[in-house]
Amino acid sequence: MFKQENRCDFILQHYREILIDAKKKGYQIITFGSYANLKADKKLILLRHDVDLSPDYAREIAEIEKEEGVRSTFFFRVQGTYNILGSKTKKVLSYLKENQFEIGLHSDAGLFAETQSNLSEMLAFEKKILEFAVGAKILVVSYHLPKKSRFLPDGKTIRQCGFQYDAGEPLFNDGFVFNSDSDAKWKRDLCVCQMLDKNERIYLLAHPVWWAADRSIRETLREEAKNGF
């Protein structure tokens, strides 16, 4: 283990170790779509990645997961700091699609919508853009900076927009212990590797940028994250 001040470092090697250790301890690591259709009562890690910044970091995480026989769900923004229709991003999306990773929408609609009706229109528009970029239907949605959003869609709105799942709905949260690495700090003040065998079902949100970016870049981004990006 790589630890610093009683916590594990955010480096790709340790991310790989977490996956290996989880599998050794009998965890099934799954996507949102897989869990929605899963009936067996097993030790599970629901693995989510919010691609807030460069998709290149997402590719690095996906390559490790592929090597370890793991699949997860990557949520992409269409109003973020990268061009979802750009050639570099589309190469990453193609890689994920070709290797059976799940792709979802990481919506910014709640940050910009002026009314509930406007929110629905923006959400549907974001979905259409991402589907065009991916070349496939997008069935699951999550929200970027939900605590700063003026509006968040309800279940009816989600279904009307053509989504099957909302990453925040009870289906994916009830019975799970949630942990996130937001701003390169663990929500539960301990690395997920220390949760293994202590929790049967874990909902893990891991942002690729915190694991794949150079340490100097991470520190700069942490400062920017305080203001939201």
Six token digits for residue 103: 């792709």
CA triple 212-214-220, angle to 5 deg: 110
The whole-model pTM stands at 0.90
CB atoms within 10 A of CB 97: 14
Q: pLDDT, tens digit, for every residue of 32-63?
A: 999 987 766 689 999 999 999 889 999 999 99
Domain 9-225, what architecture? Alpha-Beta Barrel (3.20)
Of the candidates 192, 196, 224, the residue with the CA atom closest to the CA atom of residue 205: 192
Tell me the domain boundaries of the chain: 9-225
CA distances from 197 to 13, 34, 69, 171, 204 (A): 21, 22, 20, 22, 15
Q: pLDDT, tens digit, for every residue of 96-151?
A: 999 999 999 999 876 676 666 678 888 999 999 999 999 999 999 999 887 776 77
